[in-house]
Structures are given as C-alpha cells and as structure tokens.
Structure 1
C-alpha cells in the first residue's frame, strides 16, 4: 500500500478530475466531517474512487469549488455508504449525484445482520476494515497517514461491495425496491429548521419551572453564538449538563455562577461574563417560554391506552402485523414502513379505513409505492380486527 496524499491545489485537482473522467463504471464517493469538534457540518476530506483511475483524496476547504468534478461524474452512478449522512456536505461544495447506490441501505433491504461499512465489507468481500479513525477530527492539518489510509479504504472497496450487493438484490427480487429507496434518499427534502432549536438541549425535561427554562434558553443561545463564531462544537465549550446545572441553580450573582462546581467546560470560566449576561437575561425575562410546546403529530403512544383506547388498539394490532410482513421480506420493520407513518394513520385513520384510503394516507406521508403495496391491506385488516376486539370487550365486560 503506497503513501496517500491529499490534493489541495488547482493543478493537481484538474489532473485528478481528468483521470477520474477517464475511468470506467460507478464512482465511489465518501466524505469526512469533524462532527463533535467543529460547529459546521462541512466536509474536510472527500474521497473518490473509480476503476481505471484509483483513489483520490481531496481537501475541500483548500480546493473550494468542485464544478469540474461535478461535470465529469455528475451523471454517473455514485456509490455511497449511508448516503443521507454525506449528501448535504457534498452538495455544499457543488457535488450532487443524479443516481446513487447506497450500500448501507442495500444491506438493510437484504436483511444483513450488521450494516456498518466494516461488517458489510467483511460479509461480502472477506476483508477486515479497521474503523479506529471514524470519530477523528478531520479538520486537522496535516492529516496523519494512518487517517488517510483509513479514508482511502472507505471508497477503494465500495464498488466491489456494490457489485456483490447488486447480485444479491437480483437474487432476492429487490432490485426495484432498492432503486425506489435510493431515489427517495436522493430526493428527500432537508428538514426545516426547528422553531426552538434550544429545546434540543439534552436533559431539558428535568427543568421544573418556566424561569429555569428561560435561563437554559439564554445560555443555549449564547453558547450557540460563540460556537458559530469559533466554529467549534457547542459541547466542547460548555457541555449541556453544565448549562442545565446553571439554569437549575438560578445564580443571583456572577460569583455564584463562578462557584458552581457543576458548571464546567473549557469556556466556562474564560467566557464567564458572557454566561452571566445570559443568566441575567433569563432572570429578567417577562415572557417566559412554555414548559411544553404543542406537536403537529400524535401525542406519545404511552398515553394512548387510557385516553385514546381506539387508536391504541389499532396501533397495537397493526404493529406486529407489519413486523411479520417485514420478517417475510427479510428486512427491518422500519425499512418496510416508517414507524411514524403507522402511528399517524393509527391515530387518525382515513374514512373509510380500507386499503385504498390507507394507501393514499401513507402516500401523503411519503411512503413509496412498494411500501404501500406491502402494508396497506395488512394495516386495514388490523384496524378491523382492533375495532372488533373493542366491540367484543364492550359487549362482554367480564
């Protein structure tokens, strides 16, 4: 195995693009970010492999635009593992595939017991991949050679994996299903930004008063501003647990905040004025945030049995029926039908709740045609069974 180099200059980049364009077959693509280290989710390394061309490792911050690479391979099939994790950062630099083959998703559809890249490569090719650098800080420069070897192997075997999986999909008669799922990943719209992103604060449910919630909000927002400014992961400045501790303590003086032992983190004392100002804003807030915000979806299922027994019966009857159908198809239940889709139609079924109308409801939620064909009739029958069971229980209280 030779020494790998990172391409970070315009001349080298164009030479690499020409070599990739002259290659043949699908193009394996991967991206490495610095999650947990940086605030942004940008790519800090992009790996590309094509038969007849070899492996190329690109430095996105140094290169900037990838227009010529996009022009060379944009219409080819791209092979990615867990494509949904990388498409956003690839699109950020101008790399956007027209067609994909997602080896992680294919592994799920084939019912492989483990779907991480390492286990999949070992299962299909008999090659053991070391994954010790998966959580590395890829914004590091220069990147160590061991990391580059790891990154290169992430794409070097991916086309071989794709070919082996394609054969298994044909044998399992799942080629059409896989194509529909790949297209769904490619066309999926990004989630809209949360109205109150600060409510993602880990452990927020332990807050007991609106005043504490206001302090937690101001601390979270202040940490987020600093994290953006420094391009550092927020938790590396002050962890969530420390923000919660400060919010619950409701310190009345800067010194109280400084003396709070649970308020830790690399920026907890160096930016103390910043945090104290946030606490003061929370204490002075006159329009306190609500403890709970209404959800557009159904309430948590744990409360259905007592408050909404009809919906609970429908869901409890349909779940195992859908799971049994997934078992027959040899795939995880969540790949046969998104659990939230089933919850929503059980909570508010269409009328009449027959296969046709349930199928239409599932389609409106984003289910694919093959998923509807495999589940709509099963769900409709389950709802009838649930309704009958409730009627029987009412007529025979004993």
Structure 2
C-alpha cells in the first residue's frame, strides 16, 4: 500500500519516480459528486511500470507542476475517461494520447463494460467496489478507502494490453484510436438546457404556474448549493421542491407543514425558499 502524498516535497519525489518509469500511465480519480456541488478531484491514483502505484491528494498541494511535467507525453490509460478528464483538466492535467478501457470494451462488444466486470472477465480478478459512493472530500481518508482507490489502477496496465490485443484481433484498432482521440479532445460537456426540468418527481406538477415554482425553487437551491459546494440534493431534496410547487406555501408555518422542508436545509433556508416562491407568483 503506497503512502498518501499530501506535500509538495512528497509530490516532487513521486513525480520523479513516475517520470523514471516506462510505458503508459494508468490514472483514476475520486470525486465527491453525491456530496459536493463541484466535480473536483479529491484523490488522484497513478500507476506506471517501474514506478509502482502513487496516491496523490491534490487538495493541500498548492502547485502540481511536477506531476504535470511527469504526465506530459506518455499515453494515459483511464476507464470511462470522459468522467475523469474534466476534473483533471481543472488541475491543468491534459493527456497527449489516451486509451479508454471502458470504450475499448464497448468497441469489442463486451456485454458488461464496468471496470470490475471486464477485469474479472479478462484478468480473473474481482475488484471490491464498496467505497465507490464514499464522500472523498472528507479528511482524513480512511486506510480501506485508499486500498480501494489504489486497486482501481493496479490492473489497468494489464487490462490495456488485453483489450488492445482484442481490438487488433477484431480489426478495430484504428477505429478505437479515432474514438479515443475524440474523447481526448471533446472538452467539457455543454450545460443542459433547462436543467430544472430534470427534477425528480416533476411529473406530479401540473400547469405553467406550478412549473414556474419548480424552476424558482430549483434555481434558488442550485445557487445556494454552488456557494456552499454541497450537492443540491443535500441542500434540499427534489421531493421538497415538488411539494412546494404543488402546495405553494406562503408562510413559514405552511412551508414547515410539508415533510420535505422539516429537515435542516429546508428549515434553515426557509426564507430563501419562500422568497423564490413569491417571485414565481409574480410571473
């Protein structure tokens, strides 16, 4: 189990090890999407032949320049790269070339393309996935979480070799390379139009005025969640937004009569939700 790198001095040494290795570099990240508004990386896992596995905590390290230099040039191996590349780009970490093991498995017509599934199919190892939904923004990171995270890159180098051979056997190497390049250069996804319409349970809301209340409370929640860097559902659940849209409470007592607002976020920010509903009535 490699030590967690949390200092600039430790990162400099790790970057030297990484640069002295050979071949492609396996990379993964851990985010806290179910707990935080942002999609930032709270842990970076790396592995390269001759360098071993490295675990980097980017939060306390001011300058990732040594890591950036070590990662410039070699091919990156990621699983479901489109999920990790945006948070790596936030840290100014960009691949020169890419091999996406999930995409390769799809192109090879594997029925199941999750990392655990294809690792078991091709390499015979079963990965533990019990910490995939953990709050990686919490500190300190428990030892068993770090073990789980390290395993996500432990076999990526071998997995790439198996999948590359399978692509070659199926005559799909050039096709895969073109798809990998598309993922590498695609950039961040475009913002969804009217994302408030994806509120869970919105099918229960009828009429334009009620929908305007969904939008008003959703936008108020989104703005607050962004400021707090908390997942919107942790600030106020979707069910509460739907309750407010259907019932249109006009004061604190009416708002608190709705089950979804009795939790801390609903009560603490009651003035915000009531103000949003009041603005919706003006439309």
Counterpart of 1:73 in structure 2 is 71
Q: 1:189 offset after TM fit, Å?
A: 3.5
CA RMSD of aligned residues (A): 1.4
Determine the C-alpha separation between the residues in 1 that align with 2:40 and 2:128.
24
1:78-118 alpha-carbon deviations (Å, 9 max, x no partner): 00000000000000001100100000111111111211111
Q: Partner residue of 1:178? A: 176
User: 1:53: which partner in 2?
Assistant: 51
Match of 2:106 in 1: 108
Q: CA deviation at 1:258?
A: 1.3
Partner of 1:16: 14
Q: Give 1:125-164 correspondences, 5 Å limit.
A: 125-164=123-162
Q: Distance in 1 between matches of 2:260 and 2:139?
A: 34
| Aligned match of 1:6 | 4
Query: For 2:41, what is the secondary structure of its paired residue?
Result: coil
Aligned length: 283
Q: What corresponds to 1:213 in structure 2? A: 211
Distance 1:105 1:264 in 2: 44
User: What are the ranges of 5 or more consecutive residues in structure 1 without an aligned counterpart?
Assistant: 287-398
TM-score, structure 1 as length reference:
0.69
SS in 1 for 2:171: coil
CA distance in 2, matches of 1:20, 1:170: 28
Q: CA deviation at 1:171?
A: 1.1
1:1-398 paired onto structure 2 within 5 Å: 2=1, 4-283=2-281, 285-286=282-283
Is contact 1:114–1:120 with CA below 8 Å preserved after alignment?
A: yes
Q: Deviations over 1:185-213 (max 9, x none)?
A: 11113333234332332232432122212
Between stretches 99-108 and 222-231, larger displacement belongs to 222-231
Q: Return the alpha-carbon distance in structure 1 between the equivalents of residues 127 and 212 of structure 2.
A: 47
> How many Å separate the matches in 2 of 1:156 and 1:178?
23
What TM-score, normalized to structure 2? 0.96
**Post-superposition offset of 1:123:** 0.9
Task: Determine which structure has more spread, i.e. the larger CA radius of gyration.
Answer: 1
Residue segments in structure 2 that go unaligned for 5+ positions in a row: none
Distance 1:153 1:271 in 2: 41
Change (3 A) 1:264 1:176: farther
User: Judging changes above 3 Å, is the alpha-carbon distance between structure 1 residues 84 and 264 closer, same or farther for their aligned structure 2 residues?
Assistant: farther
Residue 264 of structure 1 deviates from its aligned partner by 4.6
Q: Does the CA-based 8 Å contact 1:239-1:265 persist in structure 2?
A: no
Secondary structure, counterpart of 1:133 in structure 2: coil
Q: Looking at both structures, which has the greater relative contact order when contacts are Cα pairs under 8 Å and sequence separation is at least 6?
A: 2
Distance in 1 of aligned mates of 2:88 and 2:227: 23
SS of 2:29's equivalent in the other structure is strand
What's the secondary structure of 1:269's corresponding residue?
Answer: helix
| Secondary structure of 2:268 counterpart | coil
Q: Hey, what's the Cα distance between the residues in 1 that align with 2:161 and 2:262?
A: 50
CA shift for structure 1 position 167: 1.1
